A and B are shown apart, each in its own frame.
Chain A
């Protein structure tokens, strides 16, 4: 007798599933992915038009009612950011798959459509482990700091005219303040992990932050000078005729580069550099804490391209086909324009990620201090000069 007989049905058992991912069903793929897009769009409409309309109808639009309404909007945005993260992770994996001549996720849901949901569930089910050498409070706080600082950018992003949480007249300063905070999360998380790789990653994040933040601030300044306002809504309004990318070409290029650095995205992903520092600052994180770093990364992957669109590509502007601005239909259409433009930029970022190898951190610092800052100053001077002449 065989020691243990081979079970007859073990071979090819998997064939019984009867599901063949090899069969090409592009229409199904497109349908599943467009569901995400529709969900995203509905969330945006519900957040910015639905919730205020609801409170209007209830008559709670003053005093505490206003506070509750804003709070509800923030909750909606949190859900929206979860949708964005799921969508972008799937997009990243599918796009990398296409580019790399493979298929990406195929098995969960039609054409792999709900793979990321299961990934999120898996992360939820994992133990959230704090290493003995870690500093408990800081270690716990760091993912929250990172996520909140990325999420807070939502407050000033205009999805359509008037569709923003706070069209603050110091929006740009707020942006600088908030986006700098996200580097703190990385710094704290890496330094408190009690792991040498994480520490190196954190140090790299700090070094990277001081190099790209300066040109970034100068770019913001050029945009503000050219548009004559620090409010993001007004900046978009000012681009009705011609998009900022034409007059502000130098700041635009610098902004794209520093966005890549801020995202810790592929040519500049030194803090996590998986082939050098294993996973860098988040090497000790697991479970939900890790998920928050992940969520923050993908929310930023949406928000920084969105800011590129706001600053340089005319935000929500697009043909309205005679719709009255300010109505629901016009708002929906505008938010669609905005999302499509953002999607194009997200795609470009993913494309860069699929192509390029990693730079070296000291080379980025050199590049930032020796090339980007002088160029940013040049861009600022040009912007001011052009404004004097043409406006």
Chain B
């Protein structure tokens, strides 16, 4: 039985209750299953189970050509759309030596940051839903809707646009794109104080999150977490700065970090990242030429040999891909390194000893997306 449950009842411990949190549970953001040993409200043991959304991405992608791989990657982290395509695109561009025009890089970066805002808005809504407040959820989803609308006008789809391609992007920007984004940023800047009032400044949120689920710096590094979770533990690691890609070397932004490492710090870091994304987008709106090439020359059939690891900083952390080409037009091996998957490794560390309600808050602060975790 231990293979399916993951937790054996301890003989002689009649005061421990073993409950299955998930896979159908409102707060597990999809299909996580955590088997939890409860002693009253306190969690004594926790074993996470994943794989309920497994779709065999890596194997499927190995039997597709490089061009066909890109739309599949969209389906991993489905709340941050185009962000997933970038590692594969970058790795293949490196291997095939495809030149990317400056303007295409900027367009990519703008979409990347738009989706970061969209993803963090979704996180904000669902985290507050987990904490019991229904209203911010609807507010953030309305604002995200604007982003999706902007993306749809250019890329043709809202959540899974398949927009990046080798050598640039597939389509030029919609003529109103710059105006739309500028309007949206103004709108968001008006909304952000509301979100601060409802989330960060709320005393009940303070009570629920401050000092809850503290992840120490050493533990975070040892578990291989990345993204806002790592930065909330005081490690200023950001792929955008450490291994810059696309147009990031040309824009100025900061990496918000916090030393607290608790749930509140993770909330706070995500909020600051939204502000930084707004800053990046404003700079790019200035810098990006209105017209120009959006796509470099890429061969119609890619034959690649060699191997390459490329990573990007998506909304959840370091999203990497390891591509091995054997000279054919299909990858010999593709391995995705998911940020949400690695971030989930800290569940036993953070859950054990916490209250059951805290577990919900901690889980929402990790912001898992199961499309990417189960892949």
Contacts and interface: CB of A to CB of B under 8 A. Distances in A.
A275 B27 contact: yes
A299 B131 CA distance: 26
Given A101-B142, A102-B138, A276-B360, A362 B355 contact: yes
B198 interface: yes
B133 A357 contact: yes
B19 A197 contact: yes
B357 interface: yes
A30 interface: no
A337 B17 CA distance: 51
B202 interface: yes
Interface residues of B, number: 30
Contacts of B374: none
B139 A356 contact: no
Nearest to B129: A275
Interface string A268-293: 01100111101000000000000000
Interface in A336-372: 354-363
Contacts of A323: none
B132 A358 contact: yes
B132 A361 contact: no
Nearest to B208: A360
Contacts of B25: 278
Nearest to A196: B19
Contacts of B204: 267, 356-359
B19 A361 contact: no
A99 interface: yes
Contacts of A96: 134-135
Contact of B132 (A100, A102, A269, A278): A269
Contacts of B139: 100-101
A199 B18 CA distance: 12
Contact of A275 (B130, B138, B202): B130
Nearest to A367: B207
B190 to A, nearest CB: 14
Contacts of A199: 17
Nearest to A360: B357
A278 B40 CA distance: 17
A359 B26 contact: no
Contact of B356 (A102, A276, A356, A358): A276
B107 interface: no
In which size bucket is the chain A interface? 20 to 34
Interface in B1-28: 17, 19, 25-27
B357 A361 contact: yes
A200 interface: yes
Interface in B95-153: 128-135, 138-139, 142
Nearest to B128: A357
B358 A357 contact: no
Nearest to A203: B40
Contacts of B142: 101
B207 A363 contact: yes
B205 A357 contact: yes
Contacts of B202: 356-357
Contacts of B133: 266, 355-358
A126 B154 CA distance: 47
Contacts of A203: 40
Q: Choose among B19, B38, B356, B357 the residue with the greatest number of A CB atoms under 10 Å from its CB.
A: B357
Q: B38, B41, B129: which has the most chain A beta carbons within 10 Å?
A: B41
A99 B130 CA distance: 19
Contacts of A204: 41
Contacts of A273: 132, 357
Contacts of B19: 196-197, 200
Q: Which residue of B132, B135, B356 has the most chain A CB atoms within 10 A of its CB atom? A: B132
A360 B129 contact: no
Nearest to A97: B138
Interface in B36-92: 38, 40-41
A330 B130 CA distance: 49
A200 B132 contact: no
B207 A355 contact: no
Given A196-B19, A197-B19, A267-B204, A360 B138 contact: no
Interface string A90-123: 0000001001111000000000000000000000
B207 A275 contact: no
Chain B CB within 10 Å, residue with most, of A203, A269, A358, A363: A358
Interface string A61-85: 0000000000000000000000000
Interface in A200-223: 200, 203-204
A194 to B, nearest CB: 13
Nearest to B133: A357
A270 B357 CA distance: 9
Contacts of A361: 41, 357
B279 to A, nearest CB: 27
A360 B355 contact: yes
Contact of B207 (A266, A269, A274, A360): A360
B53 to A, nearest CB: 20
B138 A101 contact: yes
B374 to A, nearest CB: 22
Interface string B325-367: 0000000000000000000000000000001111010000000
A100 B358 CA distance: 26
B17 A360 contact: no
Given A196-B17, A269-B132, A357-B133, A276 B138 contact: no
B132 A357 contact: yes
A102 B142 CA distance: 10
A200 B38 CA distance: 10
Contact of B135 (A355, A358, A360, A363): A355
Most buried by B among A266, A269, A357: A357
B260 to A, nearest CB: 19
Contacts of B26: 274-275, 278
B134 A276 contact: no
Interface string B187-226: 0000000000010001011011000000000000000000
Given A196-B19, A278-B26, A359 B356 contact: no
Interface of A: 96, 99-102, 196-197, 199-200, 203-204, 266-267, 269-270, 273-276, 278, 354-363
Interface of B: 17, 19, 25-27, 38, 40-41, 128-135, 138-139, 142, 198, 202, 204-205, 207-208, 355-358, 360
Given A100-B134, A204-B41, 17 more contacts: A96-B135, A100-B138, A102-B138, A200-B38, A275-B131, A275-B360, A276-B27, A276-B356, A278-B25, A355-B198, A357-B131, A357-B204, A358-B208, A359-B207, A361-B41, A361-B357, A363-B207
16 contacts: A100-B134, A101-B142, A102-B138, A196-B17, A196-B19, A197-B19, A199-B17, A266-B132, A270-B357, A273-B132, A275-B27, A275-B131, A275-B360, A357-B205, A358-B132, A362-B355
The 5 closest A-B pairs by CB, nearest first: A358-B132, A357-B131, A357-B133, A100-B138, A357-B132
